[in-house]
Structure 1
Amino acid sequence: MSAVAETEAASPDALRNGSARPFSAFERLVAWRYLRPRRKEAAVSIVTMISLVGVTLGVAALIIVMAVMNGFRAELLDRILGLNGHLVISAIERPLDDYDAVSERIAAVPGVKLVTPIVEGQALATGNVGAGSGVLVRGVRGEDFVKLESISGNIQEGSLESYLTGDGVAIGSRMAVDLGLIVGDRIKVISPEGDVTPFGTTPRVKSYPVRAIFEMGMSEYDRSIIFMPLEEAQLYFNQEGIAQVIEVFVEDPDAVDSYRPEVEKAAGRPIYISDWRQRNQAFFSALIIERNAMFLILSIVVLVASLNIVASLIMMVKEKARGVAILRTMGATQASVMRIFIMAGIGVGFVGTVAGFLLGLLVCLNIRSIQRLMNWMAGADVWDPTIRFLSEIPAKMNPYETVAVVILSLSLSFLAAIVPAWRAAKLDPVEALRYE
């Protein structure tokens, strides 16, 4: 059936009833038939399909990228906060020589999960192969090391029990590879802050057996951190009986400000407190800026896809000019014609948005399988953890952001349909049928 015949099939009563209320059954029927592909209107159908595919890919890309950015931030936050305290207490006036008593008092504060005295310092580490590499040596108590689940729960070689004997160290998996070490080998640690002699300060050199090898999944930590017992670290860095800082882990890291007064009161001595937001402010601010920039850039992709809807509807108005004129002569109002073409544009946008959402959801749920497939096809690791910190591509969909993407796509599709629909409504039936 031709477009004219379909138009003529509509009764005057249907036209009048369709004019009385928005998006009536008659208007939906005509809009659907205008969208159906026809041989004589191949160009319109092709442009419509391009618009549909463009909206689909734009929405999917926006959902996937935002999910990866959110996953990247969440994974980094989890890794950083899993190793570093949410609150860091430093000494004022005198060293933390009473760290055990202070730790016990702070541990009794409601909401505090773990209190860890720390001694740490920079050093140079060498192993069986390759040159030495700079490392951060962290001394922690054995019972605290067990509670650091991001480390103790990810031991790849050796065992937690072997480390807790107190005569060895735990190193990251990438450090073990770089230095050619396995469990049982000895790692040499060189510190510039050694013994003072009449000839000056000599570097302190000491070797320790490797008792455990862990893998956090964050390349920077897996490559640069050595854990050793607190007492041994105090001896190595000439800090006998002293802790440099006390790290406090709380139940709600986002509400660290609420813990400050109680922690200061429990410390019972002059202290300075900093939190994880202050220590990583530049890093996480950069992530937020990058995420917002990616949202803006990919929103432009969806906008461009919506402009294709404008092109397809303008071509549709031109092709359907005779049918629109007949509708007008049969009693359809300008508002009814405008709603028909708005529904046609929204229909393309709606189908593209739903398809893009499903495609984005599918990719996000299978992101790691896709990563392994890409690694297999490329014959190399396409996600270099030494550059991107994490060993796998993370993806975490935020429901609010996903809904915002869907609303954005549908809104742009609606706005894109207004101008062509307005032109169709303003079409003069006399001019359209003059030469028929």
Structure 2
Amino acid sequence: MFRPLEIFIGLRYTRAKRRNHFISFISLISMLGIALGVTALITVLSVMNGFEKELRERILGMASHATIAEFGGQLRNWESVMAQAEEADRVVGVAPYVEGEGMFSSGRQVSGAMVRGVIPDLEARVSQVGEHIIFGSMNDLRGRGFGVVLGKELALALGVGLGDRVTLITPQAAVTPVGVLPRMRRMNVVGIFEVGMYEYDRSTAFIHLDDARQIYQTDDAISGLRLKLDDMMRAPTIARQVAAELDGRFWVNDWTRQHANFFRAVQTEKTVMFIILSLIVAVAAFNIVSTLVMVVIDKQADIAILRTLGLSPRSVMGVFMVQGTVIGVVGTLLGVAGGITLALNVETIVPAIESLLGRQFLSPDVYYISDLPSELNLRDVARIGSLAFVLTVLATLYPAWRASRTQPAEALRYE
């Protein structure tokens, strides 16, 4: 079978010989270093992708793709605005809400929360909170029934369960014979939800829209309308279209603005992690330089003989580029295989390690989520593999160039 001379000799040089076991050992270390770096890069970026996706889904399961609000005030005549929004293109759900701050108390336990008044049937069109109810039901919220659905962590902080009573204290004042006091309302716990995101499970409560308007004294007005779109990734464009259809009379905001800083920080962290972990690959790739330099010194006589037999300097350079590239390619392929395997099984491996060590790596009261998600992106795999290959090829240039500069007469003088 025909093989170019440079490839044939380069492949022969990659095999271990009796006199160069140390060089082979350095080559093995370089190969394993590249494999380790590629594996770490693929795994970390997959975890970061999964982290970003999981947060986006959980945030948008509670938040909304877009909201419509009155400029500088509460939204009145919202029924007509809601009808217009429902007719807008790419809007698949609309629901009204009233939002305000409050403080819940039960016995001696007190905790602040964001209270959101909703209509359960309409809320199901724009939110997934109903799918995360673990006790009770969102449908148990009824107008003038003064029921409340609490996040799991909030219920634990208050020490209450399904059917218990809590007191909601709001900033709105009430005039009484003994003076001005905060408004208070006794409420029944009719449901408990858990979305798996500590920020919401610890500080969010739902009540009926009619109860919220009475408690927060908004009369017939609401805080705004929540929209669900058919493509959340195009939320900015669709929000502008909805604002135009409403003649610019209302403020239409989308989730990319509400959480822009957070997701920008996640993206920046991904970029920084990619750069830092790429240095591992770079260090391993440049170990190939020292390996090939030693090979060139060891093969001085062989190079001189090949030159006297008519091998050109360019072909000599190709021989050592092939040898270094083989080391890099094998290391890259091992790293890609290891990275893909680890990224696809990280959600199983991490709980096993946590169980073995008896500790939890991601505490839910510190981090946004308590498990370690992973989403393998083939574009990331291709990008990392290409980076490792390019660095490997670059690392071979100097030793190969040095080999091509070998003078046969000088190298064979003492042979």
Distance in 1 (CA, whole Å) between partners of 2:403 and 2:139 is 78
Residue 379 in 1 paired to residue 358 in 2? yes
2:130 alignment partner AA: S
- 1:5 is matched with none
- In structure 2, relative to structure 1, the CA distance for the partners of 1:46 and 1:201 (3 Å cut) is farther
Q: Does 1:307 align with 2:292?
A: no
Which of 67, 86, 100 is 1:88 aligned to?
A: 67
Is 2:187 the counterpart of 1:208? Answer: yes
Aligned mates of 2:19, 2:300 — CA distance in 1: 14
| Structure 2 residue 182 is the aligned partner of structure 1 residue 226 | no
Question: 1:116 deviation in Å?
Answer: 1.7
Give the one of 148, 151, 158 matched to 2:129.
151
Maintained 8 Å contact 2:239/2:254: no
Does 2:345 align with 1:341? no
Return the match for 1:41 from 17, 20, 41: 20
Give the whole-Å Cα distance in 2 for the aligned partners of 1:126 and 1:342: 73
| Matched residue, 1:136 | 114
User: Unpaired runs of 5+ in structure 1?
Assistant: 1-13, 18-23
- Residue 146 of structure 1: CA displacement? 2.4
Retained in 1: the 8 A contact 2:9–2:319? yes
From the superposition, tell whether residues 338 and 84 of structure 1 become closer, same or farther in structure 2 (CA, over 3 Å). Answer: same
Distance 2:140 2:185 in 1: 19
Letter in 2 for 1:296: I
Distance in 1 between residues matched to 2:395 and 2:240, nearest whole Å? 55
Distance in 1 between the 2:213 and 2:248 partners? 22
- Letter paired with 2:114: L
Give 1:236 deviation, angstroms.
Answer: 1.4
Q: Are 2:36 and 1:57 equivalent residues in the alignment?
A: yes
Structure 2 counterpart of 1:411, which letter?
Answer: V
| 1:207-237 deviation per Cα after TM superposition (whole angstroms, max 9, x unaligned) | 3222222211211011110011111111111
Aligned to 2:97, what secondary structure does the other structure show?
Answer: strand
Q: String of CA shifts for 1:364-385, please: whole Å, max 9, x gaps.
A: 1111112202211221111122
What is residue 11 of structure 1 aligned with on the other side?
A: none
Give the counterpart letter for 1:156 in structure 2: I
What is the DSSP-based 3-state SS (H/G/I as helix, E as strand, rest coil) of the residue aligned with 2:365?
A: helix
Question: What does 1:183-194 correspond to in 2, within 5 Å?
Answer: 183-194=162-173
Tell me, yes or no, if the aligned pair for 1:231 and 1:240 is still in contact at 8 Å. no
- How many residues are aligned here? 414
Once residues 414 and 318 of structure 1 are traced to their aligned partners in structure 2, the CA distance between those partners, rounded to angstroms, is 20
Q: Assess if the C-alpha contact under 8 Å between 1:125 and 1:132 holds in 2.
A: yes
Cα distance in 2 between the residues matched to 1:201 and 1:25: 94
So what's the TM-score if we normalise by structure 1? 0.88
Matches within 5 A, 1:33-432: 33-92=12-71, 95-127=74-106, 131-163=109-141, 167-197=146-176, 200-260=179-239, 262-264=241-243, 266-267=245-246, 270-432=249-411
Deviation track 1:266-315 (CA, whole Å, cap 9, x = no partner) reads 54783122222222222222222222111111112211111111111111
8 A contact 1:194–1:237 mirrored in 2: no
Distance (Å, rounded) in 1 between the aligned partners of 2:269 and 2:102: 34
Contact residue 195 and residue 204 of structure 1 kept, 8 A: yes
Q: Distance in 1 between matches of 2:278 and 2:73?
A: 55
Q: CA deviation at 1:421?
A: 0.8
Matched position secondary structure for 1:125: strand
Q: By how many angstroms is 1:148 displaced?
A: 4.4
State how far apart, in whole Å, the 2-side matches of 1:331 and 1:265 are. 76
Distance, in Å, in 2 between the alignment partners of 1:30 and 1:142 is: 74
- Whole-angstrom distance in 2 between the partners of 1:201 and 1:378: 55
Larger CA deviation: 325-334 vs 335-344: 325-334
* 1:319-356 CA-partner distances (Å, limit 9, x unpaired): 22222222222222211111111111111111111111
Q: Give the TM-score, by structure 2 length.
A: 0.93
Distance 2:38 2:211 in 1: 55
In 2: Cα distance, 1:386 partner to 1:37 partner: 54
CA-CA distance at 1:118 after TM superposition = 1.2
**Residue 432 and residue 164 in structure 1: after superposition, are their counterparts in 2 closer, same or farther (change >3 A)?**
farther
Q: Give 1:145 shift.
A: 2.7
Structure 2: how far apart are the matches of 1:305 and 1:159? 57
Distance 2:61 2:375 in 1: 18
Deviates more, 1:288-297 or 1:257-266: 257-266
- Tell me, what secondary structure is at the counterpart of 1:385? coil
Query: What SS does the corresponding residue of 2:347 show, helix, strand or coil?
Result: helix
SS at match of 2:319: helix
How far did residue 198 of structure 1 move? 6.5
Identity rate of aligned residues, in percent?
34
SS at match of 1:332: coil
- One-letter code of the match for 1:402? V
Gaps of 5+ in 2: none
Q: CA RMSD in A?
A: 2.3
Contact persistence 1:95–1:243 (CA under 8 A) = yes
Q: State the alpha-carbon separation in 1 of the partners of residues 247 and 210 from structure 2.
A: 24
Using the alignment, how far apart are the partners of 2:187 and 2:72 within structure 1? 34
Q: 1:33 to 1:126 in 2, by over 3 A?
A: farther
Contact 2:120–2:139 (CA under 8 A) maintained in structure 1: no
